[in-house]
Structure 1
Amino acid sequence: MKRSNQNNLNFSSQKLSIIEGKALQQVPNAPKCLLEILQRAALTNKELVYVQPSGEEKTQSYQDLLLEAQQILAGLRKLGLNLGDKVILQINHAQDFIPAFWGCILGGFVPVPISIAPTYTQQNNTVQKLHNAWQMLEQPVILTNIELAAQICSLSKLLHLDNWQVETVEGLKDNQPDLQIHQSQPDDLAVLLLTSGSTGMPKGVMLSHRNLLSMSRGTVQMNGFDSSSVTLNWMPLDHVGAISFLGIMAVDLGCQQIHVPTNLILKNPLRWLDLIERHRATISWAPNFAFSLINERLREIQQSNWDLSSMVFLVNAGEQIVAKTARKFLKLLGQHGLASTAIHPAFGMSETCSGITWSDGFSLETISDDTSFVELGQPIPGASLRIVDENNQILTKGLIGKLQFKGASVTSGYYQNPEYNRKSFTEGGWFETGDLGYLDDDGRLVITGRNKDNIIINGINYYSHEIESVIEEIEEIDISYTAACAVKKTDSQGDQLAIFLSTSITEQDSLQQLLKQVRKTVVSKVGINPRYIIPVSKENIPKTAIGKIQRSQLSKRFEAGEFDSIIASIKSSNKASGSIILKTETEAQITQIWQELLGLEEVGLKDNFFELGGHSLLLVQAQAELEQRFDKQISVADMFIHSNVEALAKYLSEDRSKEGTPPEGQQRAKIRQQQRGASGQVEIAVIGMSCRFPGADNIEQFWQNLQNGVSSISFFSEEDIRESGIDPKVLQNPNYVMASPIISNTEHFDANFFGCSAKEAELMDPQQRLMLECAWESLEDAGYNPLTYSGAIGIYAGASMNTYLLNNIYPNRHRLDSHDDLRQISLDSMGGFQMMVDNDKDYLTTKVSYKLNLRGPSVNVQTACSTSLVAIDIASKSLLNGECDMCLAGGVSVQVPQKSGHLYQEGMIVSPDGYCRAFDAAAQGTIFGSGGGLVVLKRLEDALRDRDRVYAVIKGSAINNDGGMKVGYAAPQGEGQASAVSEAITIAGIDPETIDYVEAHGTGTILGDPVEVGALTKAFQGWTNKKQYCGIGSVKSNVGHLQIASGVAGFIKTVLALHKKRLPQSLHYEKPNPKIEFANSPFYVCKTLSEWKSNGSLRRAGVNSLGIGGTNAHVILEEAPEQVVESQKSEPKSS
């Protein structure tokens, strides 16, 4: 690599601060658009290397990249995109991002990369940026990958949005390559990059094909790069350096590229050096703080043995460069072959397509630790710079003024923002960078600070007046006397945020509380944690004659030490308060780590890491520090869940000697075992069952459908939908899915048999009617007549939301009472009271108890989707407690009208085609429908004594709730799920290796299935590391999601499988969801019907059910013991 002479430039005057860069070399037949450089690279044998979060590597040739981009192009065109349409990229892995980026380029679509949010379940800066950009760009398609799709889709609900269209790279790649590639013109818009906006609305930097290629060629011409170069990028994928300098330029060169997840390096910065050596990388980039992170690993650097001699161009840019930091880095790594001239300071921004000046003047020999401002070199060929005063008059060299650029790599402006364009460009076309600087004696650029009101910390832009405005929303703050400034301490590695404010509060405790409130407000609303919050008098806030705060004066006074006494006083007050009492050494160590990372004097035990100012960078650093200090593996997900000191300390203190064992579940099981007393009886017999499931009016039909692999989803005609009273307009929506799982004869009911009048039957919720029918049939199946049985029969069950009431009864409420038209529902009238007892959930089980003379406990259960399995758990415990002699348990769900479809919306949990593809890569959601089921339970020893037919045996069960330590109320949480499974296994007293099958909740959602399988795996691995010995399936693939009745549907399926000794298949499964690691789990998906072999032990299974809101249930089943069964009588037994 040969570098051209930087000093061979055109100076308009040797004394004026203006430099016109060399002309760009004209190369014959040079590509004129980005498409052409990718086509050219595809002719080479060079590759892209994608390092995975696990550290593994995948490679892709340029030819394969072009092919994959063409597949994505085909998918984008199928979506109906037109030339010039914007596509927001929300993609967190380079192997997905880069083909998606180029797929847009090939079609003349404009990629708009946006940073990945730390979480999509609540409002934060990145989510707001995404929302604002989506609005600004007129609601474009959002392209992501499967890993993030469900979370990003959920934003439509969080933000109350329509037309929120989310597509996945994986889905678009499932197309034949589109060979019709659009030939863009040089000045066509190629990429739109978003920068922070002072109003909260991002600014769209427009970069053309000419801009990006000019940056690439000017940089190559200046620095002598060629196809033998090897670029290594670990910056975020939406960063201009990752896209332009280490992306497009690498394609233009046709050289090898290495792409590394940002968090992999932040977690262990030395991995950067490992990868430089491994791939013999020659070019890479990092902001100043990354060099600091490596400098802190002194002992490891000294003990390592890298060969870093290949690295010749290590860019230091993106924030203020600290000479002492860079020199220390070079000294430490010089022993590993890194040249003393390897670091190259640079200046660039999104508006200049990344770097527009590059320096070769930084070395150990030429720069000292005391250098205040590091020179950033001279402009690339094709670009010019100048330093001007407030009137845009060029200054003489050495004088500080405004930095401006002009050239082929400089943006033409901001997307649909004429006002900001006027502010940003002079009449002569010079671009205002917002930076202050000067040219040194050698004509090299030196940056001294910012002229605009934005602050750059860790490479992120923040606007002063945005920070000030959120602070002044606090009542006790004096308006117009708040200043947010970038400051630097002599021992600091870069700029820090200092807040100066005025308040009338003087009492110390009250002042401390106010400062805490200010910090929390800035963190939550702006996303940055102030390093200093300094209360001063109004007189100490300098203003101009027209009242504008002079922030630069405050910064200078701060750096001169003028406010040190105030800072010391605040620290002293914090320590004096002494309100934090640390109970354990673990809490003390975590607190210390957080204080150091967050720059805080005080951290409360229950203070949320993110509310204290933590962000993704600090989170990864905290993760690495915690793993090193406690010698334990901690995932980022763990830190999201356990996000305060107290919770994290408890988590780290748990004994996880058996990986995956949830201690809480085991502990709960032991307590229950102790409370059972001497008898120790836990086994419950299933002696009767009944059901109304889609496609099956009884148990026999249900089993036939299961073993024949029947999908019982009904698909409707438009006429069906109209006859159901659905608005015909909905049929015009292409996303309306005319399908649902339905049951037969919901409008039929033998009122006389159950002692109901015709009017009562008509008014009664079909769910109550169905519950009555199933109750009688299940007892009949068990061989008992409830009307004559002398013992106590209990019932535990639940029902779904009553849509019959909403759609049928309420609109006709005037017919209920001739004395009251019930315009407003009232329980005072006879009609209102009757409507209540026949339709409210509260009366579901007691209606059955009344009609069938059941004298045991009668309890309505409501835990959302897990209701009916929770009812089975509670009924089992009721039997063991001696509260009844037999017990019915289950649930019912009837949608009215049944023949109605659903509107598919990306991000919601319903399927786009009416099928539930549990565990499959193509899974996109579930489908809700109607059904009901009840089982009859009895203590096993009593059932054997009474010679009852036993279908199967409940060995143990458990229920719990996820609690509040998860990202959202409706979100799944693996810890809670695993704990319930572990507790049930422990109660059952079995080895999970003897469990042959698990009936999963298995909704077929992108996120839900991986979390559930992960939780099951974690629970099982508390006992065994055996792989793929246990089948898994979901009845939802057959009958859909029966809501409240879904748990009992899975339970009955599994009981029948044990009884018949056959394992039914789980339908619609072809290829595993890539987020489920079946190979490293105990599970395999049951793809075909198979004989259930005993393998030398009793057949056993688990049934899992999970409810929105976090209530989890798990039941362990075992095949029935050998028994002599009394022949069935024509009349049920009375006792």
Structure 2
Amino acid sequence: MTQDGCIRRFAGIAGQWPDRIAIVEHDSAVSYGRLAGLAGGHAARLLDAGVRPGEFVGLLTGHGTGAIAAILGTLAAGCTYVPLDPTFPRDRLAHQVAAARVSAVLTIPEHASLAEALCRSTSARVVATGPDTAPLPVPDPDPDAPAYVLFTSGSTGTPKAVAQTHRNLLHVVDNQIATLGITADDRLSLLASFGFDAAIPDLYPALLTGAAVVPVDVRAHGVAHAARELARHGVTVYHSTPTVYRHLLDALDGDLPSVQTVLLGGEQATYADVRRGRFAPDCVYVNGYGATEVTFAAQYRLTAADVPAGATGPLPIGTALPGYTLTVLDGGELEVSGEYLVDGYFDQPGPAFGTTADGVRSYRTGDLGELRPDGTVVCLGRLDRQVKVRGFRVELTEIEACLGELPGVAEARAIVRDGELLAYVVPAGQPDVTALRAALADVLPGHSVPSAVVAVPAFPLTVTGKLDEEALPDPRPPAPVAAGPMTAAQRRVHAIWVAVLGHDGFGTEDAFFDVGGHSLLLGRVQQRLATEAGVDVPLLALLEHPTVAAQAAYLEPATEDGPRAAPAEAEEDEPGSDLIAVVGLACRFPGAPDADAFWWNLCAGADAVHDYTDDELAALGIGPGLRADPAYVRAGGRLDGVEDFDAGFFGFTAEEAARTDPQHRLFLETAWRALEDAGRDPAREHGPVGVFTSAGVNRYFLFHLFGNPAVTGDVDPDDWEGRLLGRQLTDHLPGQVAYRLGLTGPAVAVQSACSSSLAAVGLAAQSLAEYRCDLAIAGGVSVTWPRYRAGGLASADG
């Protein structure tokens, strides 16, 4: 790659082809020679105003020719440009001016007052643009000096400044030129604001090859205007976010056969996006991946003919571009590394990004990725799109994927607002949102079914062209349903539902969960029935009676001064039945605190095994001889929160908890969670409940308690059995669980080496089949503990 600066390469193109068209905007065209003169005029104004090479210049301009000339002029003056979007709030612009250490603001007359206001609190000066031209200076900047400063979107907090160097900029541009095959005959769309990195792969590849760029301000003129402009000017390379792309397709009056390449980025693109394309028959679709911190680092290319039949979901982001490496880390997070990355944010002291084991700069993107067998990577969305709703882990992209496969849905988005799970769809036809929600309930667990599905004509956009979640409307409450004649009990239950749900859009036969209810709100119904009707109703009874009519019928004997009906007895299986159901599940693994996270790791191919350094092994008590043994495996899973235990909840004293094998504590907690997941209370079971356990070797006792006077010094040797050993032996685990949870069925400890947990499940199933118990808990636990050495150096913390 040449190390000539952008201005030197642009000046070479302008000198070679001064009459060639560089910019096509509205009904006018600007030649390379004219653009070079305008850029030279801006450079002269900056230098005449006392701006020195190396300083940072804010650009408060529009979107078209004037902005492009200002960018080139600032670089030609040897300065770093900082785009300032005049549509942004003034406070945000002021933050950018301060964070980027702007010393001058180059502005058009229209925004002069805003520029003055931004500079008033700093030492920055205002420099006005003008139509005059001048020879274009051609500096030779330091490749490691910043060419521009852009700001992150601020979606995770305050926007952060990223100063990309001339070296990195040119590398990105040359990658785009090479991978997209851009030539002087191309015309590239330019829809993104210059304040966002999406403008980089449009502007510079055009101006450094002799091609033309077609800028269109989508925010000012709309997508329909953009569609007409792109068709009128024969754009051959189209680039935008997938959301803008979908709006564009909806706005097209016909096909765009001039478009040979479509580049999508900034959001998740899908196979459906490729199928909908209305461009040249052999159009190449490119799914690009990057961030403000790295610009473009990976690409995936295909044509419409390459889309597999029936393929749905996100397009892969492919493989890394030259100069970058794309890695899926153990937790599933995508990491970009390479020599063309900055080492941190400009406005934050010290390196904020990391380095690989080889010392190469790296950036953890916060995106979740999956490595496919063919070596390509699929971006599964943001890690922060795994949310907790009412204590349940919910994957928003899963909801969106399920909605997107339903008939009548063109686009879908799931969000959490004020603790409520909501879904929004752009219809393709006339879908019934109630039916859509019902369809989700058929394929998703209850906690993943949105409280409401809202249809909107189109998704609102942010200034970056991405979907604006904040602008999505709140769901409208259902229309009131005329209530027919109701009994006194029905009126009481109906009034409580209205108070809890906040609307009266339901009848006596509508299910609570179908009209906006969820488990937490059902708990409020239970509370109100107790306080307002004087009836303590088990939550399970409310679940089994989900309508106003059913709950009223359940309550009527108690509320009409009659004897209360006894709860129905649990149905028994037919004699000889061998059907056994798994009704609850709970687990804890390294990198997965619950079953949902474990399943996600399996689907994503995430590896939760940790490779230990020599220092870490030493801190865990592994001696130098073993560490030096080439046969020693220096890897293992790390389980978080092992030391946490709610002793009081399970009736332990602090002393008992400290002297209990943590494996016992973990099994006890997880057994309780499994019962919660099943919705089964052992105290309410009619028949016996069994427990079948397996546990690993108790290293906690061997390496921590035994010989540790701080823990065992006050235990009489004659009382070890009662106060110590009974909480350590694997054989005592099932009895401990049965005692603490009040279980009355078989309590069996299982040991069969590596198959112990499976054997426990098998014995539990056998016990159920033989009617030895009606409900069984089965599982295993294995946790290795670091060694304790009093006063020794083998453990960093004793």
What's the TM-score, normalizing by structure 2?
Answer: 0.49
Greater relative contact order (Cα 8 A, min sep 6): structure 1 or 2? 1
What's the TM-score, normalizing by structure 1?
Answer: 0.35
